[in-house]
Amino acid sequence: MGRLQEFSIAFTNSKVVYSPGESISGSVRVITASALQFKAIRVNCVGSCGVSSKMNDASWMVEEQYVSSMLSVADKGTLPPGEHTFSFQFLIPAHAPTSFEGPFGKVIYRVRAVIDTPRFSKDYKTQRPFYLLNMLNLNEVPDIQQPSFAVTTKKFTYLLVKTGTLMLKARSDLRGYTSGQIIKLSTEIHNKSGKDTGCVIASLIQKVTYKTKRPMFDLRTIAEVEGAGVKAGKHAEWREQIIVPPLPQSGLAGCSLIDIDYFIQVSLKSPETVVTLPIYIGNVAVNMTPSRPPPPNPLQHTPLPAMQSLSPGPVVPSAPPAEDELEGEQGAGGLASEEIPTKSHSQQDPSGQAPTMSPSAFSHAPSQALPQTQHAQSAESSAPLFCVSTGATIPFFTDGNATPVPTTCPLILPPEYSTWEYPHEPPPTYEESCSSNNSSFNTSMT
């Protein structure tokens, strides 16, 4: 580096994760081998969001600024040979959004330092990123303790002349989760036809919306569970669980260019039937206060009455025509209830083997069901887990960590990681699903 041997930025106590409204402080260290003339030494703190229409393109189409503060730590003069230290401190705005990195946009924060040298001399620059965590308290979301419920019916034709009807119901125990918690999922399939269904799949899906003149949607399957199909004329129940890996929070509050949504999608391949359960991912877990009775747990390992265990009560699913009664007579046998076995699970334990899930697993505490990795922590952990993005090289931080820790957590990337397409049609919204002709949703307790 010639006469400049070192030019670096260090944060106080080596802290790299901050909260909105907090002060960020540190020092700029300069070591020179010989005298260095300068016009000014400036430090500035910047934070912004940029969105592009091309993947991993830093030429933003739209951009917004959250913080831009400049501090002059030294005026015109000469730095003698040796080591020099200049302190700085900046205030982070109270409504700045959480750091995020995606393929089409980023929310980034950094501290920059510049030594402005005289004319025809080389200016010296350095920078150091820091990360912001704007906590999302799930207890501030309305009805967060209630289960998320969806039901739909599907009428289809098979063997050219026969008609069948299928009812698919799904429910999660809550509407909000934090990293390391378990989503308890219960599904019922009522196959009133003479044809076996295809396998049933439950997926945790992330939808990131990048808001440009033509919005883009990035859909990713975070985790996936597959169960067996349902025999003709059978009423089957499927209970499964999905461990929530470290993920960016829902919404990305404070950012108007990037929005993040999560939902559970339960689907059948044959006949093609889908229901979606909107959920929230946050940083502060839902407080199930003992002062009020908890909602009934549909995942208790007890026999469920046929077609009544997950009924939404006053909301009746779109009823099939009168031919259903005829089909019930034509179906293969009575509506005997059975349990659907799980065939595969995308979330792997450290040994690389898919964990064996059973309905009895829901009686376990979350900490007992978690894979023992250094990044999959329970919600009761005192240090908040922080995630910048869902890419393959995610930095994770806890309070007090000095350096970024790249993850090797196998819970992040499922076996079939989705590719980006542009434009990409998003899944139906909650309101669109409610207004469809063949489905109905109940978002309150039964």
Residue 387: per-residue pLDDT: 47
Nearest in space to 28 (alpha carbons), one of 121, 128, 108 = 128
Q: What tens digit of pLDDT does each residue of 290-331 get?
A: 545 555 554 444 443 333 333 333 333 433 433 444 344 344
- Tell me the C-alpha distance between 230 and 145, whole Å: 31
Find all residues with CB under 8 Å of 134, minimum gap 6, and list them: 19, 20, 96, 97, 98, 249, 253, 254
Residue 293: per-residue pLDDT: 53
Residue 51: per-residue pLDDT: 94
Beta bridge partners of 177: 281
- The top-level CATH class assigned to 138-442 is mainly beta
Higher local confidence (pLDDT), 80 or 310: 80
Residue 120: per-residue pLDDT: 75
Res 444 pLDDT > 50? no
- Tell me the C-alpha distance between 277 and 310, whole Å: 14
Residue 238: per-residue pLDDT: 94
The helix, strand and coil proportions of the chain, stated in percent and rounded to the nearest 5, come to 5, 45, 50
Q: What tens digit of pLDDT does each residue of 147-176 get?
A: 999 999 999 888 888 889 999 999 999 999
Residue 432: per-residue pLDDT: 56
Higher local confidence (pLDDT), 127 or 408: 127
Higher local confidence (pLDDT), 95 or 391: 95
Residue 144, sorted as left (phi over 0), alpha (psi -120 to 50) or beta, turns out to be alpha
Residue 356: per-residue pLDDT: 33
Parallel, antiparallel, or unpaired for β 216-227 and 342-345? antiparallel
Residue 407: per-residue pLDDT: 33
Report the alpha-carbon angle 161-163-168, nearest 5. Answer: 150
Nearest in space to 341 (alpha carbons), one of 351, 353, 352, 356 = 356
Provide the pLDDT confidence category of residue 28 given band limits of 50, 70 and 90: very high
Where in the sequence of the chain do the CATH 2.60.40.640 domains occur?
4-132, 138-442
Residue 54: per-residue pLDDT: 86
Provide the pLDDT confidence category of residue 434 given band limits of 50, 70 and 90: low
Residue 56: per-residue pLDDT: 82
Res 347 pLDDT > 70? no
Mean pLDDT for the chain overall: 74
Q: Any idea which fold 4-132 has?
A: Immunoglobulin-like (2.60.40)
Q: What tens digit of pLDDT does each residue of 238-261 get?
A: 999 999 999 999 999 999 999 999
- Tell me the C-alpha distance between 283 and 20, whole Å: 14
- Tell me the C-alpha distance between 118 and 115, whole Å: 10
- Tell me the C-alpha distance between 199 and 271, whole Å: 10
Higher local confidence (pLDDT), 263 or 413: 263
Residue 149: per-residue pLDDT: 93
Q: Express as a percent the part of the chain with pLDDT over 70.
A: 66
Sign of CA dihedral 206, 207, 211, 213: positive
Highest mean pLDDT among 202-216, 386-400, 425-439: 202-216
Reported pTM? 0.69
At 409 the three-state DSSP class reads coil
Parallel, antiparallel, or unpaired for β 82-91 and 162-172? unpaired
- Tell me the C-alpha distance between 157 and 154, whole Å: 10
- Tell me the C-alpha distance between 444 and 439, whole Å: 16
Residue 137: per-residue pLDDT: 94
Res 210 pLDDT > 60? yes
Q: What tens digit of pLDDT does each residue of 366-404 get?
A: 223 333 333 333 333 333 444 444 432 233 333 333 343
Res 422 pLDDT > 90? no
First vs last Cα of the chain: how many Å apart?
69
